[in-house]
Amino acid sequence: MKVQEVLSDLKRRFPNEPEYLQAVTEVLESIEEVYNEHPEFEKENLIERLCIPDRIFTFRVTWIDDKGKVNVNMGYRIQHSNVIGPYKGGIRFHESVNPSILKFLAFEQTFKNALTTLPMGGGKGGSDFSPRGKSKTEVMRFCQAFMHELWKYIGSETDVPAGDIGVGGREIGYMFGQYKKLQGEFTGVLTGKGLEFGGSLIRPEATGYGNIYFLLEMLKTRGIDIAGKKCLVSGSGNVAQYTCDKLIQLGAIPVTLSDSDGYIYDPDGITREKLDYVMELKNIDRGRIREYAETYGCKYVPGGHVWSESGDIALPSATQNEIDGDDARHLVETGVIAVSEGANMPSTPEAIEVFQKAKILYAPGKAANAGGVATSGLEMTQNSIRLSWSRDEVDSKLKEIMKDIHRQCVKYGAQPDGTIDYVKGANIAGFMKVAKAIMAQGIL
């Protein structure tokens, strides 16, 4: 089937899955031209086989809270594609989780993982359980109950989950412990593990650092220095924190952070000391970003989005569709020069169009935030060879991978006017690798 036929067919079959359709539409529209140059792809209905996940597991998760109440959540694992390696991708715990969101993430993950140059297929999982407001023991019981179902479907050579929204080192530790007990085996079945039990140095930092390494490559194409640039960062979790960390190291000035309740704007910049405070607030005390404004006496906007402020560089690091068309127009009108996505699909299609028309530097998540999963891939390698690499070794491999992803984007996304279409570049590069692997392995 032709690209447009597949798209309208998917819309008919999955009308209640807007995020999945959004991600699929973006990729298919940017690869259409290349796809049409390969009649052998169409002959084997490659597109439809690429868009529909290999399988989806859905299960009930039952757990008891501290008051003795029995709670029921939904659990999922989407195994999208294992043509270039074991299924690989994070687990998200958030009340908004549903099949559409996980299908979009698993689809995107497949291309992102292809771009890393490492042998990893694509998958994603999660639950509509939110750790927010839960005690440590409730989170532990939930993670154990979740893994009690999930363990049957995963394995170090089959499917290797990791963290995402609501799943950090703490949750990975609990899930790893439960997997090990059920399977009776110590294997690298999850990434993002603690350093004491097979985790990799730099994995916590990797998504944020990787995003800035990618941004540096983009800025280099226009001869722009990052030092002194005012940066808008959204979110205040793993990705946002290490994005700020690297910005501070490079002399840039992060001025915002947010959570689902609102955002802070600190005109003096988030310094090293203030970032240490945020890390303790968010990772240990599990507090709200509002408390930053109370501690440092800056602006807090309840219910607001950082995109109503202005800055030189925008680094969305919270969630999907957080930047809409109006936000994008405001950012462009107030002089943003680069947008690099730490989050997955944070810009709506309209926002992407605004950025691209304005010819600012714009990097989609599947390229810019691939450093997280790439370092997960490095964790898998270290687990397989039973060795731990030093911080510098992992960091320099991460830098090389991000530079390589940038090169792939330039190769497939260079435009006649000298600019680079990073959306097209990332989508075509990822697609070609996965497509060739599917063709080589026969009709399955």
CB of 168 to ligand 2IT, least distance (A): 11
User: Pick from 73, 238, 376, 382: which binds ligand 2IT (CB under 6 A)?
Assistant: 376
Judged by CB under 6 A, which stretch of 46-54, 72-80, 84-92, 385-393 contacts ligand 2IT?
Answer: 84-92
- For this structure, is 124 an active site residue? yes
Contact mark string toward ligand 2IT, 188..217, x via CB under 6 A: ---x--------------------------
Q: Which does 191 bind (CB under 5 to 8 A by kind): ligand 2IT, ligand NDP, none?
A: ligand 2IT
Measure the CA–CA gap between 207 and 260, rounded to whole angstroms.
Answer: 20
- The reply to whether 164 sits near ligand NDP by the rule CB under 6 A is yes
Is-contact 362 423, C-beta < 8 A? yes
Minimum CB–partner distance for residue 234 and ligand NDP (Å): 7
CB 369 within 8 A of CB 344: yes
Give the Cα-Cα-Cα angle 348, 266, 240 (nearest 5 degrees).
Answer: 45
Burial (CB count <10 Å: 0-12, 13-18, 19+), residue 373: buried
| Binders in 122-161 for ligand 2IT, by CB under 6 A | none
Q: Which segment (160-168, 218-226, 271-279, 411-419) binds ligand NDP by CB under 6 A?
A: 160-168
Question: Could you tell me the smallest distance in angstroms from the CB atom of residue 183 to ligand NDP?
Answer: 24
Q: Hey, what amino acid is at 82?
A: N
Cα distances (angstroms) measured from residue 293 to each of 265, 290, 367: 8, 5, 33
Counting contacts by CB under 6 A, is residue 343 touching ligand NDP?
yes
Using the rule CB under 6 A, which residue among 372, 413, 425, 430 binds ligand 2IT? Answer: 372
Q: Is the Cβ of residue 90 or residue 173 nearer to ligand 2IT in the bound state?
A: 90
**DSSP string for residues in 199-264:** --TTHHHHHHHHHHHHHHHHHHHTT---TT-EEEE---SHHHHHHHHHHHHTT-EE-EEEETTEEE
DSSP secondary-structure letter at 268?
T
Among 373, 401, 428, 435, contact with ligand 2IT (rule: CB under 6 A) = 373
The footprint of ligand NDP on this chain (CB under 6 A) covers a number of residues equal to 26
Q: Which partner, ligand 2IT, ligand NDP, none, binds residue 343 by CB below 5 to 8 Å per kind?
A: ligand NDP
Residues 169, 171, 172, 177, CA torsion sign: positive
Catalytic residue among 88, 103, 124, 134: 124
